[in-house]
Amino acid sequence: DAVVHWFKCDLRTADNKALHLASEKAKSKGVPLICLHVISPQDYKAHRTSAVRVDFVLRTLEVLMEDLAQLDIPLYVETVEKRKKVPERIFELCKQWGASHLYTNIEYEVDELRREASMTRKGLQEGIAMEAVPDTCVVAPGELLNGTGNQYSVYSPWFRAWIAYLHTHPHQLHLFDPPTQNPTDARQKYKELFDRRMPEAPENKKLTDDERKRFRSMWPPGEHEARQRLSKFLQERVDDYKDTRNFPAANSTAIVSVHFASGTLSARSAIAAARDANSVKKLDGGNKGIMCWISEVAWRDFYKHVLAHWPYVCMNKPFKPEYTNIEWEYNKELFTRWTEGQTGYPFIDAAMRQLNHTGYMHNRARMAVASFLAKDLLIDWRMGERYFMEHLIDGDFASNNGGWGFSASTGVDPQPYFRIFNPILQSEKFDESGEYIRKWVPELKHVQGKAIHDPHGRGAKGVQGYPKMCVDHKESRNRALARYKEGLGRD
Ligand code: FAD
């Protein structure tokens, strides 16, 4: 007999609800806990998971495997090519191990939610009690409803409700203990599971040698690293967060999104740590930097709530149905210039090159490049959303989709479509000295003064080797306004 925990995007031992429950169940039954992770190359393909993310996950699994082995808990990792075969294979393994209970944390994307529901039903037929529990959000989707009993679609009132809920439900921030030691005979009994080697990255998600070297030095894996990174941020940088979080060159954000996305850090424990670092030991009041950071982490919850409540956003549909009829451009050349950071707008190009080089992009820069693609180039925002997933190390469906909806004005944000970022003003405002641009666009390293934001315009001499602007912002702004208006007028 055994109890199984199925790891997905929750690759940690600390504060992991399903893992904790699985461990408790195993203890109460006096049987061992077995952990499982399934790699499905087809799933990676369907979700456009980036190779850098896959590499990070595989390296994290090694850390996890070692930590679990200390507790005599095996972590069995297997590659199952077809995503549809994954549930079947999991039940097969459960039977092979004689497991009566299977635990996992809920994922809210539509395919995943359906899979978990059908597995729970199937489990009943197979005599395996499957339990999928809410864990990834600080406040579970469905808990916060507005006055009319519906899900909020606007962040600010939702956030007030989120804070109020945590005040009235303080246990929501109690952390779950890591699993306890397996019975001593587990090692002997499951020897072949302990002896297994980690699978390699699937063919479709392999990094080149160069990329591997680069990304590995930038992104150390595992939950210990995640906690260290967070605590350093809370000790050293959070005080300035509110004032400097919008400046991409300032290195003032926590850079923990990769850990939230892979689950090497739980959002609950991050919020609890921020509260404990606050002078008043509360979520609101006290340290302004901490309050602001908490409200940013809450955005992650917010977008997951949106996704859980309006699953059609998972199906390539805009949140606002009236934006379905906008006529997008599918100009390949302009799209490629955008992806390669060759638009001739230095701030946009710096951002795209940061993404391509590191697998990460600063939030302000994400907003600027997304707005540029959707509004200035009028290119279908879903192409940008896809490109982000294929390149981000922190790719998370809900936050990415939410961010793109925000920038293309098709999402939950109540701002009307005529808010159109001016890429040069964004640059002047958020990278005033040009430090971010100079870092990522070396052709512009020697450009002095304001010309860094606009090297071919406003009397600047231009820079050899750096492209001219691919569109004129004033013209493209007018075109976007007309096109959005026309799209909204159509049935
Ligand atoms: P910090 O500023 O330190 O914030 C802490 C945490 O709060 C983040 O790690 C993140 O979990 C959460 N957070 C902060 N801002 C947002 C936000 N706007 N939306 C949702 N959560 C937020 N974030 C992802 O994790 N994955 C994505 O795929 C993703 N795609 C995005 C696409 C677009 C177009 C935009 C505009 C934003 C996207 N974001 C995404 C949100 C945000 O840019 C990143 O979470 C943030 O830059 C991560 O850096 P950090 O950890 O230093 O953030």
Residue 89 Cα to ligand 1 midpoint, Å, equals 34
Do β-strands 99-105 and 2-7 pair in parallel, antiparallel, or remain unpaired?
Answer: parallel
- Same domain for 402 and 373: yes
Which atom of ligand 1 is nearest the CA belonging to 369?
34
> For a pocket test of ligand 1, which of 137, 242, 257, 304 has the largest count of ligand atoms closer than 8 A to its C-beta?
257
Residue 297 Cβ contacting ligand 1 at under 6 Å = yes
3-state helix, strand, coil in the chain (%, to 5): 55, 5, 35
- Same domain for 86 and 169: no
ipTM: 0.99
Residue 105 Cα to ligand 1 midpoint, Å, equals 22
Residue 241 Cα to ligand 1 midpoint, Å, equals 14
Query: For residue 491, what pLDDT band results from cuts at 50, 70 and 90?
Result: low
pLDDT of residue 414: 80
pLDDT exceeds 90 at position 462: no
- Same domain for 232 and 111: no
- Same domain for 103 and 159: no
State the DSSP H helix or E strand holding residue 84, giving kind and residue range, or none if neither. Answer: none
Beta strands across the sheet bearing 129-133: 75-79, 33-39, 2-7, 99-105, 129-133
What value does the mean pLDDT of the chain take?
Answer: 96
> How far apart are alpha carbons 74 and 59 in whole angstroms?
16
Quick: pLDDT tens for 261-279. 999 999 999 999 999 999 9
Residue 36 Cα to ligand 1 midpoint, Å, equals 28
- Report the share of the chain in percent with pLDDT over 70: 100
Full domain range(s) for residue 278: 138-173+223-308
Size of the chain, expressed as the number of residues it contains: 491
Residue 403 Cβ contacting ligand 1 at under 6 Å = yes
> How far apart are alpha carbons 200 and 202 in whole angstroms?
6
- Same domain for 293 and 231: yes
What are residue 35's phi and psi, to 5 degrees? -105, 150
Give the residue from 308, 336, 362 where a domain finishes. 308
State the DSSP H helix or E strand holding residue 209, giving kind and residue range, or none if neither. Answer: helix 209-218
- Same domain for 131 and 15: yes
The pLDDT of 30-54, averaged and rounded, is 97
- Residue of 191, 175, 462, 137 whose CA lies nearest to 299: 137
Quick one: how far is CA 338 from the chain centroid?
A: 22
> For a pocket test of ligand 1, which of 253, 294, 363 has the largest count of ligand atoms closer than 8 A to its C-beta?
363
The answer to whether position 416 is within a domain reads yes
Residue 129 DSSP class: E
- Same domain for 426 and 353: yes
pLDDT exceeds 90 at position 199: yes
Residue 367 Cβ contacting ligand 1 at under 6 Å = yes
Active-site residues: which are they? Answer: 296, 299, 328, 363, 381, 404
What are residue 27's phi and psi, to 5 degrees? -60, -45
Give the residue from 83, 105, 135 where a domain finishes. 135
Residue 113 Cβ contacting ligand 1 at under 6 Å = no
Domain CATH code at residue 90: 3.40.50.620
The answer to whether position 186 is within a domain reads no
Residue 261 Cβ contacting ligand 1 at under 6 Å = yes
Residue 404 Cβ contacting ligand 1 at under 6 Å = yes
Q: Whose CA is nearest to atom 49 of ligand 1?
A: 255
Q: Whose CA is nearest to atom 8 of ligand 1?
A: 257
Residue 62 Cα to ligand 1 midpoint, Å, equals 26
Residue 64 Cβ contacting ligand 1 at under 6 Å = no
- Same domain for 304 and 338: no
Reading the block at residue 334, the tokens are 């302009």
Residue 266 Cβ contacting ligand 1 at under 6 Å = no
Q: Count CA atoms within 13 Å of residue 263 on its CB side.
A: 24
> How far apart are alpha carbons 50 and 204 in whole angstroms?
10
The pLDDT of 216-245, averaged and rounded, is 98
- Same domain for 128 and 143: no
Q: Count CA atoms within 13 Å of residue 443 on its CB side.
A: 19
pLDDT of residue 419: 87
Query: For residue 413, what pLDDT band results from cuts at 50, 70 and 90?
Result: confident
- Residue of 360, 378, 376, 343 whose CA lies nearest to 455: 343
Residue 294 Cα to ligand 1 midpoint, Å, equals 12
Quick: pLDDT tens for 221-231. 999 999 999 99
The pLDDT of 450-454, averaged and rounded, is 94
Domain total for the chain? Answer: 3
- Residue of 53, 16, 40, 19 whose CA lies nearest to 397: 53
In our burial notation (b when 16+ CB lie closer than 10 A, e otherwise), range 378-397 reads: bbbbbbbbebbbbbbbbbbb
- Same domain for 77 and 26: yes
Residue 257 Cβ contacting ligand 1 at under 6 Å = yes
Neighbours of 335 (CB within 10 A): 18
- Same domain for 142 and 117: no
